[in-house]
């Protein structure tokens, strides 16, 4: 299962640590009184959003965060206006936010030029004289002056069950000529009518008594299970892919500059796959990833000459540049839209925000690639892109998904050779061989590691254990984007064991290379009973050869162990011959896919508890 924890920040902040079972009342910090949103949509896809909310501060601990409110918008496609912002005191007094308490943070270009990579602006207000029991009130309007996609509009919002809402009202007002579909989950319809060639639909919601959740891991999130609403003029996700393609694909033009650059990059490469790999590697390592991907005012890639001149671009720029370079070598590819967050399912209503990232698909090799990752080898995907619904911009296939690493492709083998001296000091080596995701991550770390850090790395690892030690690391050149890596460290440390005398020691690697088996298992010891979690497969092998002083007598070693279920196995052998102890541990996680259910989590935990007991056993000596 190899659990991968992702941060769903908003939910974690709101929920906090669960001290009771799901369904128990929350110790509230704040409470929303009213929360009103109105969408006035035009036929061309532009719109005006009006927002108004009031929030009461219930606890001292919430004061600081409650004193500020912000609205973000795209300067090139939207404008924002604050309608009202004030503190409402318990005694009924209203204290308006003075103009000095407005702060605007703008990403902008030089002089009158437009911003290069992001035109996002944040308008923040600071409420005056806020105390426990007071309410802050904020009303603002966002006017969308340019639609993300012509004649289309889509949006969604979620109301988390851990937030108190007294009175939520949401209203959509749009032209009858726009064919829209919508959904309101856990909300009550309050209006549905057609008048003067416009349609109106409205809902209400309240959650006066929020409840706790035991959920800890938000790495997989399903919006369909939460209260909220979705609205879209797109009939299908294929229409979203097509709308993106209409604006983006014309930018993937094969110019003379693109043709010349592609030829230089693939020089000496004879097969098309080798050429595709070379082009991908060049874009991934030479074009810095920056800026907006899919969002308001951010759906048209920049001109490729601009991207090449600046050696920088967002995901659309990366995907468009790579598509053009591939086309210059007669290698077919298409761009593809995917969710790079925690959504592993697409909601019923096709909303653009659910596909917030762009990658490439090469049909000839049936490969997805994401050149925004400067550490992921050709033929692999970053974890957040894997096992996700994907919208092919050309050749759309309903139900298409990005692949997961084949079982057994993520491997690590750590070999520890340790010699224990009569005074309890040790010397030896720790060596790791990695394949797959771990190798890519270690290579990325090694590329960024300074020589000073590397020189002190072994010393600092021992220092973290309260020991005095030193050593030197030997490693492969990490520059190449490939899915294998090897490192070795030679080390020595003082007073590792209590000698002479009697005692006990755990069998573990003095240097934490890769992800030790015990670390893989520790994250599963608290069950996730409420929801799916993100996970993956891995094979981890740990070998130990431990030479003890001849005068030391081994009294006891751990028992061999073998445990298996239908997707997981662990085996450990402990052999003592003379004064040499050899240990082999093999952990084989054959999880299929990157999403694990609570039932699977429970089965995993049963094995993990047994394995943890074995890993905690000690060697006794005197």
Per residue in 42-67, pLDDT tens? 999 999 999 999 999 999 999 999 99
CATH number, position 426:
2.60.120.1130
Average pLDDT for residues 15-40, to the nearest whole number?
74
348: phi > 0 → left, psi -120 to 50 → alpha, else beta; which? alpha
User: Out of 1-10, 279-288, 506-515, 542-551, which region has the weakest mean confidence (pLDDT)?
Assistant: 1-10
CATH number at 377 reads 3.10.620.30
Q: How confident is the model at residue 369 (pLDDT cuts 50, 70, 90)?
A: very high
Q: Residue 3 falls within a domain, yes or no? A: no
Among 392, 419, 450, the domain boundary falls at: 392
Domain boundary among 217, 233, 249: 233
| Burial of 246 from C-beta contacts in 10 A (0-12 / 13-18 / 19+) | middle
Same domain? For 226 and 304 the reply is: no
Q: 567-579: per-residue pLDDT in tens?
A: 999 999 999 999 9
Instruction: Please tell me the pTM assigned to this model.
Output: 0.90
Place of tokens 């289309």: 152
201 and 70 belong to one structural domain = yes
Strands (E), 469-614: 469-475, 484-493, 503-506, 533-534, 538-547, 554-556, 561-564, 568-577, 580-589, 595-596
**Tell me, what's the pLDDT at 293?**
67
- Per-residue pLDDT reduced to its tens digit, 515-526: 899 988 887 776
Residue 403 lies in a domain: no
**What contacts 610, CB < 8 A, 6 or more positions away?**
561, 563, 570
Same domain, residue pair 571 and 549: yes
Does residue 8 lie in a domain region? no
Specify the pLDDT at position 483.
Answer: 95
Q: Which helix (H) or strand (E) holds 601?
A: helix 598-615
Q: What is the pLDDT of residue 523?
A: 73
**Percent of the chain, pLDDT > 90?**
81
Domain of 149? 21-233
Residue 400: inside a domain, yes or no? no
pLDDT of residue 170: 98
- Which residues touch 595 (CB under 8 Å, ≥6 apart)? 220, 344, 387, 532, 533, 534, 535
- 228 Cβ partners below 8 Å, 6+ apart? 156, 157, 158, 159, 184, 185, 186, 187
Do 426 and 344 fall within a single domain?
Answer: no
Q: Minimum mean pLDDT among 223-232, 384-393, 515-524: which range?
A: 515-524
pLDDT of residue 132 exceeding 80, the answer is: yes
Indicate if 427 and 295 belong to the same structural domain: no
pLDDT tens-digit map of 68-79: 999 988 887 889
Q: Could you read off the pLDDT of 185-220 as tens digits, one per residue? A: 999 999 999 999 999 999 999 999 998 888 888 899
Q: Is residue 5 situated within a structural domain?
A: no
Following DSSP, what letter does each residue of 209-271 receive, concatenated?
S-B-------SS--GGGSEEEEEES-SSHHHHHHHHHHHHGGG----HHHHHHHHHHTTT--S
- C-alpha triplet 584, 488, 591: angle, nearest 5°: 50
Do 517 and 457 sit in the same domain of this protein?
Answer: yes
Q: Are residues 51 and 120 in the same domain?
A: yes
Mean pLDDT of the chain: 91
The conformational region for residue 374 under phi > 0 = left, psi -120 to 50 = alpha, else beta, is alpha
| Segment among 98-112, 250-264, 416-430 with least mean pLDDT | 98-112
pLDDT in tens, 395-438: 999 999 999 999 999 999 999 999 999 999 999 999 999 999 99
Place of tokens 């003890």: 548
Token output for 349: 């209503």
**pLDDT confidence of residue 274:** 98
Last residue of a domain, one of 357, 392, 427: 392
- Distance (Å, whole) CA 436 – CA 450: 24
Is 13 within the bounds of a domain?
no
């Amino acid at each position: 299962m190899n659990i991968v924890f992702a941060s769903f920040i908003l939910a974690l902040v709101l929920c906090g640590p669960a001290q009771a079972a799901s369904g128990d009342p929350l110790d509230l910090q704040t409470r929303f009184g009213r929360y009103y949103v109105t969408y006035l949509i035009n036929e061309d896809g532009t719109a005006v959003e009006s927002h108004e909310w009031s929030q009461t501060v219930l606890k001292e601990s919430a004061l600081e965060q409650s004193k500020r409110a912000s609205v973000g918008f795209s300067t090139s496609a939207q404008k924002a206006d604050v309608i009202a912002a004030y503190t409402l005191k318990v005694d009924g007094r209203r204290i308006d936010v003075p103009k000095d308490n407005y702060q605007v943070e703008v990403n902008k270009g030089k002089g009158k030029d437009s911003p290069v990579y992001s035109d996002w602006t944040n308008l923040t207000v600071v409420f005056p004289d806020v105390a426990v029991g007071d309410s802050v009130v904020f009303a603002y309007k966002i006017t969308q002056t340019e639609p993300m996609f012509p004649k289309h509009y889509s949006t969604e919002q979620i109301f988390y069950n851990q937030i108190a809402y007294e009175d939520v009202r949401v209203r959509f007002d749009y032209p009858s000529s726009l064919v829209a579909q919508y959904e309101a989950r856990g909300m009550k319809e309050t209006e549905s009518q057609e008048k003067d060639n416009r349609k109106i639909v409205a809902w209400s919601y309240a959650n006066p008594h929020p409840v706790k959740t035991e959920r800890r891991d938000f790495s997989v999130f399903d919006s369909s299970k939460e209260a909220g609403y979705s609205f879209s003029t797109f009939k299908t996700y294929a229409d979203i892919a097509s709308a993106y393609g209409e604006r983006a694909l014309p930018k993937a033009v094969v110019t003379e500059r693109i043709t010349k650059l592609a030829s230089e990059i693939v020089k000496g490469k004879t097969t098309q796959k080798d050429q595709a790999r070379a082009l991908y590697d060049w874009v991934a390592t030479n074009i810095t990833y920056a800026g907006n991907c899919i969002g308001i005012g951010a759906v048209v890639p920049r001109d490729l000459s601009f991207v090449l001149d600046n050696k920088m671009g967002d995901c659309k720029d990366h995907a468009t540049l790579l598509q053009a370079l591939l086309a210059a070598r007669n290698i077919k590819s298409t761009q593809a839209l995917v969710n790079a967050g925690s959504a592993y399912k697409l909601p019923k209503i096709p909303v653009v925000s659910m596909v917030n990232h762009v990658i490439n698909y090469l049909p000839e090799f049936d490969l997805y690639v994401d050149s925004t990752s400067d550490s992921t080898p050709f033929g692999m995907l970053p974890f957040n892109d894997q096992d996700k619904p994907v919208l092919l911009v050309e050749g759309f296939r309903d139900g298409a998904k990005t692949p997961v690493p084949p079982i057994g492709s993520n491997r690590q083998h750590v070999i520890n050779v340790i010699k224990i001296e009569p005074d309890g000091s040790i010397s030896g080596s720790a060596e790791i061989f990695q394949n797959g995701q771990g190798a890519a991550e270690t290579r990325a770390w090694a590329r960024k590691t300074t020589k000073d850090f590397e020189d002190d790395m072994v010393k600092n690892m021992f220092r973290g254990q309260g020991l005095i030690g030193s050593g030197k690391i030997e490693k492969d050149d990490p520059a190449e984007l490939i899915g294998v890596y090897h490192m070795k460290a030679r080390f020595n440390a003082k007073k590792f064991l209590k000698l002479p005398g009697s005692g006990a020691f755990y069998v573990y690697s003095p240097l934490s290379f890769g992800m030790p088996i015990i670390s893989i298992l520790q994250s599963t010891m608290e069950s996730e009973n409420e929801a799916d979690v993100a996970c993956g497969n891995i094979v981890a092998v740990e070998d130990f050869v431990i030479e003890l002083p001849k005068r030391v007598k081994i009294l006891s070693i751990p028992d061999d162990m073998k445990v298996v279920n239908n997707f997981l196995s662990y085996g450990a052998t402990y052999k003592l011959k003379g004064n040499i102890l050899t240990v082999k541990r093999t952990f084989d996680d054959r999880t299929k896919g990157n999403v694990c259910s609570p039932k699977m989590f429970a089965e995993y935990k049963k094995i993990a508890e047994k394995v943890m007991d074995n890993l905690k056993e000690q060697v006794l000596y005197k």
